[in-house]
Amino acid sequence: MNPRSNEQQDLAEHRGLLITFEGPEGSGKTTLIKAIAELMTSRGEQPLLIREPGGTAIGERIRNILLDTASEGMCSETELLLMVASRAQLVREKIAPALAAGMIILCDRFADASVAYQGYGRELGESTVAPLNKVALGDLEPDLTFLCLLPPAEGQARLVNRATDRLDRETALFHEKVYEGYQAMAVSGDLRFKVIDATASPAEMLAATLGHLKRLEHGLLKYL
């Protein structure tokens, strides 16, 4: 047996794991993340839960500007640059150190959100978003991304009893374009993306997600 292959396998067993969750408003991804985190914690893992925009002290201040309804006049390019600024801080302050420490990271939205929201929703295009994401991420990429897909009309209906932010209050057309972006990812052929039917119950969404996680060969997930 090649000793180098053993070394590579050992590194794979001990490196961290970045799992991101994407989806339109009201898709239930935050509830899903909490359920997965609780399960992992009950089985001896201590996952790091983070969100975008935000996740750091600087990022949370940026988040407040982005989502504040008082920021209604924000132009699309400013929105994108603020999203990327928050992401760059999150990668360097939280994600990179956690991966180096061999942790599981569960991230509520990440770089794909800018493709959907600013690339498609704001019609800036992937060609504008991609190089800025590259600046923020460097060579980093999620190990797995769950796309919680829910038709925009149903998502907006779920927000009726929830305090809404600037993006929640966007037009139906904007949310349709965001959904189109996520649908494009779902059919892209990229194996990183796993589609979760967000019209299902929370328990069904959790079961589907765990099914994908169990098929991901990684030492940190061996107890799931």
**What's the pLDDT tens digit per position in 180-219?**
999 999 999 999 999 999 999 999 999 999 999 988 867 6
* pTM, full prediction: 0.90
* Alpha-carbon dihedral angle through residues 105, 182, 158, 63, given to the nearest 10 degrees: 50
- Chain centroid to Cα 172, Å, comes to 22
Specify the pLDDT at position 132: 98
Contact 59, 53 (CB under 8 A): yes
Domains of the chain by start residue, with CATH: 21-219 (3.40.50.300)
pLDDT band at 223 (very low <50, low <70, confident <90, very high): low
The CA radius of gyration of the chain, in Å to the nearest whole number, is 18
Strands (E), 7-123: 17-22, 48-51, 104-108
d(Cα 121, Cα 114) in Å, to the nearest integer?
Answer: 9
**What's the pLDDT tens digit per position in 154-188?**
988 887 777 688 998 899 999 999 999 999 999 99
